[in-house]
């Protein structure tokens, strides 16, 4: 069996995601003075929050299956998916901020933490994209026929590598923005920024996927969210600068 030439697109897409994820903390360190510990904290927070979210998804999925069987209503599925993200990703971030020096509200630390949260997600998701493309190119003949056909079919999709990269580019500023809002909430001792982060993140993950809505519509929604997040990132950092005791300081 011969792999589709589109498998190279998967390799390129995964490689770009990994290189971008690795380069972003370096750029923030050199340009903004973000500490390596901020990046590690962001990556760790993503790992814990998403790991717990997966456990929560198994529990909630089982409950929904017992109620609706295989035909879970779209609205119910959207609400459940969105709330799982809000509860775990925003909730765990809130706990981490409250328990670490991030609560001091230093803009460089906040930016490094939030960007690393999104960049580490891109790295983790980029690995299977890269390896899937490589496997289709190099090892297709060595696989069991059924697995080989499935892999060849998946990596023959020429659209998914581009939508994957687009979603990663959009997700990084969104994660950064919501993390900064949560830090601002702790720093100012106000619930409003946290609730805003919770609503925005939940709404983004509630967007239907797969065949539930047309792909073009889904991507347009993501692009709109990404543009708004990118535009709000600067004002959010300026708000944090005004709230921080040492606005120009950064941890080392």
Q: Check residue 141 and report its DSSP letter.
A: G
Average pLDDT over residues 51-55: 97
- The whole-number pLDDT of residue 209 equals 86
Euclidean distance between CA atoms 29 and 24, whole angstroms: 9
Average pLDDT over residues 26-33: 91
User: Of all residues in the chain, what percent carry a pLDDT higher than 90?
Assistant: 83
Query: How many C-beta atoms surround the C-beta of residue 123 within 10 A?
Result: 21
pTM to 2 decimal places: 0.90
- The whole-number pLDDT of residue 142 equals 86
- The whole-number pLDDT of residue 252 equals 33
Is the pLDDT assigned to residue 177 strictly greater than 70? yes
Q: How far is CA 5 from CA 13, 80, 126, 134, 147, in A?
A: 14, 38, 19, 11, 18
Residues in Cβ contact with 11 at an 8 Å cutoff, skipping those fewer than 6 apart: 130, 133, 134, 137
- The whole-number pLDDT of residue 244 equals 65
Is the pLDDT assigned to residue 247 strictly greater than 70? no
* pLDDT confidence band for 245 (50 / 70 / 90): low
Q: What are 103-156's pLDDT values in tens digits?
A: 998 999 999 999 999 999 999 999 999 999 999 999 888 888 898 889 999 999
Euclidean distance between CA atoms 208 and 80, whole angstroms: 11
- The whole-number pLDDT of residue 210 equals 79
Is the pLDDT assigned to residue 48 strictly greater than 90? yes
Is the pLDDT assigned to residue 249 strictly greater than 60? no
* pLDDT confidence band for 212 (50 / 70 / 90): confident
- The whole-number pLDDT of residue 248 equals 42
CB 14 within 8 A of CB 129: yes
């Amino acid at each position: 069996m011969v792999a589709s030439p589109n498998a190279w697109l998967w390799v390129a897409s995964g490689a770009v995601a990994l290189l971008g994820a690795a380069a972003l903390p370096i750029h923030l360190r050199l340009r903004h003075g973000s500490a390596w510990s901020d990046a590690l904290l962001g990556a760790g927070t993503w790992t814990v929050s998403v790991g717990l979210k997966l456990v929560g998804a198994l529990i909630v999925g089982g409950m929904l299956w017992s109620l609706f069987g295989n035909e879970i209503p779209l609205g119910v599925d959207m609400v459940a998916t969105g709330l799982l993200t809000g509860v775990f990703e925003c909730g765990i971030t809130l706990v981490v901020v409250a328990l670490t020096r991030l609560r001091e509200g230093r803009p460089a630390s906040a930016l490094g933490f939030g960007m690393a949260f999104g960049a580490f997600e891109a790295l983790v998701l980029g690995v299977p994209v890269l390896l899937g493309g490589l496997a289709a190119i190099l090892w297709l003949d060595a696989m069991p026929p059924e697995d080989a056909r499935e892999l060849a079919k998946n990596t023959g999709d020429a659209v998914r590598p581009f939508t994957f990269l687009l979603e990663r580019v959009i997700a990084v500023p969104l994660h950064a923005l919501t993390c900064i809002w949560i830090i601002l909430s702790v720093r100012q001792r106000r619930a409003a920024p946290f609730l805003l982060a919770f609503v925005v993140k939940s709404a983004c993950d509630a967007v239907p996927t797969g065949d539930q809505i047309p792909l073009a519509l889904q991507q347009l929604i993501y692009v709109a969210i990404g543009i708004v997040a990118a535009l709000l990132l600067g004002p959010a950092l300026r708000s944090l600068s005004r709230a921080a005791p040492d606005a120009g300081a950064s941890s080392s």
